[in-house]
Amino acid sequence: MPAITGARAYLVDLEVETVRTDAVQSFIKQETVFVEVDTNDGLTGIGYAYTIGTGGRAVLSMLRDHLVPRLAGQDAAHIEGIWTDLFASTRATTVGAITSLALAAVDTALWDLKAKRAASPLWEVAGGFRQDVPLYDTEGGWLHLTTDELVAGAVASHDAGWGGLKLKVGKPSHREDLERLAAVRAAVGDRMDIMVDANQSMTSAEAIRRAKAFEAVDLFWLEEPLPADDVTGHVRLARATSIPIAVGESMYSIAQFREYLERGAASIVQVDVARVGGITPWLKVAHLAEAFNVAVCPHFLMELHVSLAAAVPNGRYVEHIPQLRAITRSEMVIRDGRAFAPETPGLGIDWDLDAIEDRRVG
């Protein structure tokens, strides 16, 4: 058995690679929480989770004070057993973002070990559907950008052969949102998928009104129109519009996805491997969505999600937001509008350990 002989957690702050704003927030910095797990067969697994600027130290404390000390001596191959033990040990703070992020940092390290021990890439170990997944761009669609800047970004994505692009919405006037979307649609033609993201900023009535207006632009999805805990509002909106509703980046447990799917409130599932608690629950959500004939288009973390979206038959799109370039030695492979899952054993992220060491803050 690959017994765990040591484990440690630490925090690395990364500056944002570009200014990113939406209707409710901006991406301040990427607090990247790492967990390394050593086993007695000489392997080390590296896992991670993230925040977009707040709470990273709370995740680190949860790991150092409570979760990491429970790992010593456990069999690293028993991932479900370890996950369940850690979850049970934190019962008073679950379901919750801080605990889920901490669980994810451990769980992804264990999957890195599992795939390294199998000498196989994650996309195969996690399911192995196909190696490449269509890519859509978010990096050209932030809310502070002018219409001309949005159009320029969209044309660049179109010319690169990418299948889709995402624009943030939630300007004070719905007319302004619509003008921006229409300008981009006119620039890229009718073959490119356009997604929009409201980041939970709307009321139920406003979401229905804007969705109706947006239908003229032919959208691929409307993302997080309402607060994530307003499931009934999403049900109502889904019935009122022909635009598919995408949710998932603000959900922290399998059961939250089950409720959305059961009630017909989600047409696209954007489960985030860090926020849902790791690869173990991520795969369960993806398979649950498959049972409802719903596609998975994971939120952010493209360097890890490319392998997970490639692992499952309902992985539909990977989101392009590069944010690890300062601490990795190579980038995700993109060819003909598709992202390719790495072939190297483990998670396949080419960490620059010296650069990580330089940026440690805790």
Tell the smallest beta-carbon distance from residue 158 to Mg ion (Å).
21
**For residues 246 and 347, which CB has a smaller minimum distance to Mg ion in the complex?**
246
Task: Exactly one of 114, 158, 166, 168 is catalytic; name it.
Answer: 168
Tell the smallest beta-carbon distance from residue 223 to Mg ion (Å).
5
**For residues 193 and 197, which CB has a smaller minimum distance to Mg ion in the complex?**
197
* 4, 37, 85 from 69: Cα distances, Å: 11, 11, 12
**For residues 101 and 113, which CB has a smaller minimum distance to Mg ion in the complex?**
101
Using CA atoms, how far apart are residues 11 and 58, in angstroms rounded to an integer?
Answer: 11
Interface mask (CB under 5 A) for Mg ion, residues 139-178, using x and -? Answer: ----------------------------------------
Chain Cα centroid distance, residue 172: 27
Tell the smallest beta-carbon distance from residue 168 to Mg ion (Å).
8
What is the maximum alpha-carbon separation in the chain?
Answer: 62
Q: Which residue is nearest to Mg ion (CB)?
A: 197
Using CA atoms, how far apart are residues 324 and 197, in angstroms rounded to an integer?
Answer: 23
Tell the smallest beta-carbon distance from residue 354 to Mg ion (Å).
33
Is 216 within 8 Å of 192 (Cβ atoms)?
Answer: no
With the C-alpha atoms ordered 4, 342, 80, 257, is the resulting torsion angle positive or negative?
A: positive
Is 264 within 8 Å of 238 (Cβ atoms)?
Answer: yes
Task: Exactly one of 116, 174, 299, 320 is catalytic; name it.
Answer: 299
Contacts of 331 (CB under 8 A, 6+ apart): 322, 325
Tell the smallest beta-carbon distance from residue 2 to Mg ion (Å).
37
Is residue 29 part of the annotated active site? The answer reads no
**For residues 36 and 197, which CB has a smaller minimum distance to Mg ion in the complex?**
197
Tell the smallest beta-carbon distance from residue 197 to Mg ion (Å).
4
Interface mask (CB under 5 A) for Mg ion, residues 189-228, using x and -? Answer: --------x-------------------------------
Q: Within 13 Å, how many C-alpha atoms sit on residue 349's CB side?
A: 30
Using CA atoms, how far apart are residues 267 and 261, in angstroms rounded to an integer?
Answer: 8
**For residues 308 and 356, which CB has a smaller minimum distance to Mg ion in the complex?**
308
Is 45 within 8 Å of 110 (Cβ atoms)?
Answer: yes
Is 67 within 8 Å of 89 (Cβ atoms)?
Answer: yes
Is residue 168 part of the annotated active site? The answer reads yes
**For residues 112 and 197, which CB has a smaller minimum distance to Mg ion in the complex?**
197
Using CA atoms, how far apart are residues 35 and 171, in angstroms rounded to an integer?
Answer: 39
**By CB under 5 A, how many residues form the interface with Mg ion?**
1
Residues making contact with Mg ion (CB under 5 A) = 197
Q: Which residues are tagged catalytic?
A: 168, 299
